[in-house]
Amino acid sequence: MRELPALLTEIGGNMPIGFIVLDERGIIRLANAAVLRMFDLDAGQAWQDQSLGIFLDVPELDEMISVILQGGGHRNDVAFERECAAGAHAYLADLSVAQMGEEQVVLFMVQDITLRKQSEDEIHRLAFYDALTALPNRRLLQERLAQSMSISARSGKHGALMFIDLDNFKSLNDTQGHDIGDLLLQEVASRLTRNVREGDTVARLGGDEFVVALESLNSIAQEAAAQAETIAEKIRNELSHPYQLGGIEHHSSPSIGVSLFRGHQSNLDEVLKQADLAMYQAKASGRNKVCFFDPEMQAKMEYRAELEQDLRASLRLQQLMLYYQMQVDDSGLVIGAEALLRWQHPQRGMVSPAQFIPLAEEMGMILPIGDWVIEQACAQLKRWERDPTMRDIRLSVNVSARQLSQPYFVELVKEAIEQTGIRASHLKLELTESFILNDVEEAIEKMLELRASGVRFAMDDFGTGYSSLAYLSRLPLEQLKIDQSFVRGIARDKNSQVMVRTIINIAHNFGLEIVAEGVETDEQLAFLRQYGCNKFQGYLFGRPVALPEFEQLCRAVPAFA
């Protein structure tokens, strides 16, 4: 084994940590090889008897040293940077006091942390930036937005968030491949960055979704909105110029949703959601547009979304039920009833079919609901067969165009009739004219097939749609129903009167029954009877009611003729 001091010198020279010993005046007494390497010095250079200042430029250093010497313990993690031959390097140093013989000295230990810092920076970059466009990602955007909100809270100025989605991006990706799609995203990123101010943030959320956050807009909301709109329009215009993507010229446009914020009035997720909603509005109104968030629109969409969710569960939770409304003949006898859906919602109470049927149509829920209505109606007809008062009542069921167009529809109706064993002639299906907009030939075929097994058909809301007389002659209808809007107009306007009389004539000429809907007054009734209508439905005779009430009404109804 070699002599200890020599060994120590060698260890000291090879270790990656640099150390310097300073005397009480801060003058360098000793420095190891590592520190000389770090600072590009060699042993021959005049570093001895100098202060630390020849190595580094840390203004507070003298102050730190004197505090430590006065018994101030030690200092960890003094960070500093320094230009070396190989570029900027980062260092981290510790200062502590030690006793060397009689003398008190200061130990300065330093580590080159350049590589560690680089990998930390890289981790930061990966965690906070989008790899494709080098823009901030969602996480960093959220951080920046939180800052913007605080700044806005202090200054009282508005900020704005723009949600930008490229129109038809998917089709570019699908037809030209992802590489070309990536080029577009990169070009969009640089156009966005070029068109905002320094303090503003451009971020990519993923896919073709970008967000621009604007700071320090006017403190008056209207002014701020105008400023945001100008910038949004500028961006929309910029992003609509043609792109050169790997030799391909491509045309694209954005849909932009804008939401304003001030201070912490709304939270961050809310503002993002609002801008997103506005963006959807921009898409819905034809793309390549700028739309502002509108609270009313949000309320509507939220209501709809809730209703949609609840509607999905309504069948399973047995919240749907049928009401029945009587139809009477000229002598006041109940000849039929219309089954009308009701949704008993636990919070909202009775929801009108006018509200939920269109929604059910859009969602496709109309199919299971409609099927359920037909099954219920057949079961009810069967029960009425055994009741002398009710046994001759014909039950009308509303069928939506979408339901009729299902391939299984004819089978479903036939099966319901067979399984319950009802007289098919007592089931009437009400169609609206809208089904003619679909495949008429197919619809006629289905109607004929059902008619052959005894089922009857009525045309509901007649006169409000598009039916042509040519179709009317080909449809196996039994009945036309005059829409209630015309009946309501009888007392008020000539046009309604003309419509009512015309519809009655059409029915007579085609040999069809005629029923007037929505009859509420004696005056309406008198007019209808005068022109030859002899079947009625409306509040004048009975409102739609639940089954027990309906049966009671039927037993009590007096003839009026």
Q: What DSSP character marks residue 112?
A: E
List the one residue from 276, 461, 513, 551 that touches Mg ion (CB under 5 A).
Answer: 461
Q: Rounded to whole angstroms, how far apart are CA atoms 479 and 374? A: 19
C-alpha separations of 405 from 24, 401, 464 in Å? 97, 6, 21
Least distance to ligand C2E, CB of residue 186, Å: 50
Least distance to Mg ion, CB of residue 483, Å: 6
Burial class (CB in 10 A: 0-12, 13-18, 19+), 312: middle
Q: Nearer Cβ to Mg ion, position 130 or 461?
A: 461
Q: Nearer Cβ to ligand C2E, position 152 or 398?
A: 398
Burial 124-163 (b: 16+ CB within 10 A, else e): eeeebbbeebebbbbebbeebbeebbeebeeeebbbbbbb
430 in contact with Mg ion (CB under 5 A): yes
Least distance to ligand C2E, CB of residue 517, Å: 6
C-alpha separations of 19 from 11, 15, 16, 59, 71 in Å? 12, 10, 10, 19, 21
Residue 354: name its binding partner from Mg ion, ligand C2E, none (Cβ under 5 to 8 Å by kind).
Answer: ligand C2E
Least distance to ligand C2E, CB of residue 460, Å: 5
Least distance to ligand C2E, CB of residue 485, Å: 10
Q: Nearer Cβ to ligand C2E, position 261 or 541?
A: 541
Residue 166: name its binding partner from ligand C2E, Mg ion, none (Cβ under 5 to 8 Å by kind).
Answer: none
Where do contacts with ligand C2E occur on this chain (CB under 6 A)?
A: 325, 340-341, 352-354, 357, 370, 373, 398-400, 430, 460-461, 484, 517-520, 537-539, 544
208, 160 Cβ separation under 8 angstroms: no
Residue 254: name its binding partner from Mg ion, ligand C2E, none (Cβ under 5 to 8 Å by kind).
Answer: none
C-alpha separations of 558 from 159, 239, 546, 561 in Å? 69, 73, 20, 9
Report 368-407 residues binding Mg ion (CB under 5 A): 398
Residue 370: name its binding partner from Mg ion, ligand C2E, none (Cβ under 5 to 8 Å by kind).
Answer: ligand C2E
130 in contact with Mg ion (CB under 5 A): no
Q: Nearer Cβ to ligand C2E, position 221 or 350?
A: 350
433 in contact with Mg ion (CB under 5 A): no
Residue 334: name its binding partner from Mg ion, ligand C2E, none (Cβ under 5 to 8 Å by kind).
Answer: none
Q: Nearer Cβ to Mg ion, position 323 or 409?
A: 323
Report 478-517 residues binding Mg ion (CB under 5 A): 517
- Give the DSSP per-residue string, 123-192: HHHHHHB-TTT--B-HHHHHHHHHHHHHHHHHH--EEEEEEEEETTHHHHHHHH-HHHHHHHHHHHHHHH
How many residues sit close enough to Mg ion to count as binding (CB under 5 A)?
5
Least distance to ligand C2E, CB of residue 532, Å: 20
**Partner residues linked to 398 by β-bridges:** 430
Q: 3-state DSSP call for residue 217?
A: strand
Q: Nearer Cβ to ligand C2E, position 28 or 519?
A: 519
400, 438 Cβ separation under 8 angstroms: no
Phi then psi dihedrals of residue 35, to 5 deg: -70, -35
Catalog residues that contact Mg ion under the rule CB under 5 A: 398, 430, 460-461, 517
